[in-house]
Structure 1
Amino acid sequence: MTRSTDLAVETARGRLPVYFSRPEGEGPWPGVVVVHDILGMTHDLRRQADWLAGAGYLAAAPDLYSGERRSTCLIRMFRDARARRGRTFEDIDAVRTTLMSRPDCTGRIGVIGFCMGGGFALLLAADHRFDAASVNYGTASSDVYTEGTFERACPIVGSYGAQDRANRGTGDRLERILTAVGVDHDIRTYPEAGHAFLNDHDPADVPRLFAVLGRFAGGDDTFHEPSARDARERILAFFARHLRTSGDNGDASAGAESGSAS
């Protein structure tokens, strides 16, 4: 069972809306910041947070599109990703800090992202004080994939689809770099999965233009249940290893089998 609510986190630019989901009970629990894909705050994003809460984590999913038009936010976020700094990183760091300050949090915090959010999770793995990062078919510019970028990174679990044209070979490249710099990792590319295979979006949340562009850019972008189930099991096992301590409440394996975010 989980308890969810809409909260606001104070940032340098005002109040940032956050969907917050937590396990039942008193805690303390580790925290996870959930970074949305290009569609923003959707039913799927809330279900991802609920899935993590059901597995024993404080899950906070910020609406990084709040306060401006989506197109304006996208331009800003792409610019931030290229520069590796800016408002997007500051907002996510503010959510991490808020989680850490809660009395029901252990102080260990992970980050998980999907598609565009997966790219930010990858960039946040180094120098942003996260204890683990889950990168799900996140794209980044080619200059990111160097040993210098990841030599100070936290542990990374990454999941990709072999049918994803936008990420062809990305998993193998990341695997080689993390091995070379000695960062603990679990990287897997699923043969039958395409882009966004972990996201089971409601059709009403997907503008027609986005659906067309997604298929053009990444190939098959539909939810693939067998790959998603395995990826979730790996993510929970990885987070349990790096975010949990012996005194934590909750069961990290909870929902691993049935923990579909749908």
Structure 2
Amino acid sequence: MTAPIAESNAPKPIHTDDAGLIAGAVTVPAPAGDLPGYRAHPASGGPFPLVLVIQEIFGVHEHIRDVVRRFAKRGYYALAPDLFVRQGDPSRLGTIDEFRALAGRVPDQQVLSDIDASVAFAGASGKADVSKAAVIGFCWGGRITWLYAAHNPSLKAAVAWYGRLTGDRTETHPKHPIDVASALQVPVLGLYAGQDQGIPLPTVTELQGALRAASAPGAARSAIHVYPDAPHAFYADYRPSYRPEAAADAWQRQLGWFAQHGVA
């Protein structure tokens, strides 16, 4: 799949090659049926610290696969499972409303189970060290990152890139990050944008307050960084929202977060 909703004023996307890597499509066995995914890791050595890369609302497209390779170049086993596959195929969609409708049909509990299966798959490969595991996610995947950090206390760390923090509570999406933040056992770094029209800064401030007031060890060690002038999706180098300076700084903060919490 190529990058979605391409626009004439979008920047030229970053391309990370696979030299020195084992990279490509994989099939993850899962309780609800096989799950496609994309993984990359160094061609020699290992086992490597594990990073689960959780997709944007647009699916596991080329930008997400490139992020997987970026981690592999840094010495990680990185895996991006296709978490929409049971409800639909994002590559066949064209409008943001269609993407949102698809995402709205994907139950959180199914997603958490599929990520559990992805961790097990990576561990069974012999190339991933699941005792040094982290999860990161962008936009839709940023919200899921918070939820998975609350779901799996065995993680070492998590990084949520501009994930939505609250919203309507439904049977499909019964909880949001604001509901689970105070009980986190895993430290989460939140990377947010001051000009994000979809994630109001008051909700970020509310989350910061919940984390500060919490006694749970992961909540107490979590942190939020806001880029005041950046818009939503400032890391998405295939979109006009891309902000290279903020993106580079956030990437380095993420790597530092991993090193600080033993995912290196």
Q: Which residue does 1:209 correspond to in 2?
A: none
* Contact 1:158 1:171 (8 Å CA) reproduced: no
Deviation at 1:152, TM superposition (A): 3.1
Question: Which one is further off, 143-152 or 90-99?
Answer: 143-152
More helix by percentage: 1
Q: Residue 147 of structure 1 contacts residue 178 of structure 1 at CA under 8 Å; is this kept in 2?
A: no
Rounded Cα–Cα distance in structure 2 between residues aligned with 1:110 and 1:148: 18
Aligned to 2:142: 118
Cα distance between partner residues in 1 of 2:89 and 2:39: 23
SS at 2:137 equivalent: strand
Q: Distance in 2 between matches of 1:164 and 1:149?
A: 21
Name 2:158's counterpart in structure 1. Answer: 133
**Taking structure 1 as reference, are residues 21 and 102 closer, same or farther at Cα in structure 2, changes over 3 Å only?**
same
Which residue identity does 1:186 align to in structure 2?
A
The 5 Å alignment of 1:22-61 reads 22-61=41-80
Q: TM-score of the superposition, structure 1-length normalised?
A: 0.77
Quick one: which amino acid aligns to residue 196 of structure 1? A
TM-score, structure 2 as length reference: 0.76
Aligned partners of 1:167 and 1:105: how far apart in 2? 34
Unaligned runs of 5+ in 1: 204-220, 245-251, 253-262
SS at structure 1 position matched to 2:79: strand
1:31-54 deviation digits (Å, cap 9, x = unpaired)? 011111111121110111111111
Identity %: 30
Alignment partner of 2:199 out of 153, 162, 167: 167
Q: Counterparts of 1:197 and 1:186 in 2: how far apart (Å)?
A: 19
CA contact 1:110–1:133 (8 Å) conserved in 2: yes
Decide which moves more: 145-154 or 99-108.
145-154
Partner of 1:195: 232
RMSD of aligned Cα (Å): 2.4
Conserved 8 A contact 2:146-2:177: no
51-60 vs 135-144, greater mean Cα deviation? 135-144
How far apart, CA to CA, are the structure 2 residues paired with 1:145 and 1:11? 25
5+ long unaligned stretches in structure 2: 1-19, 168-174
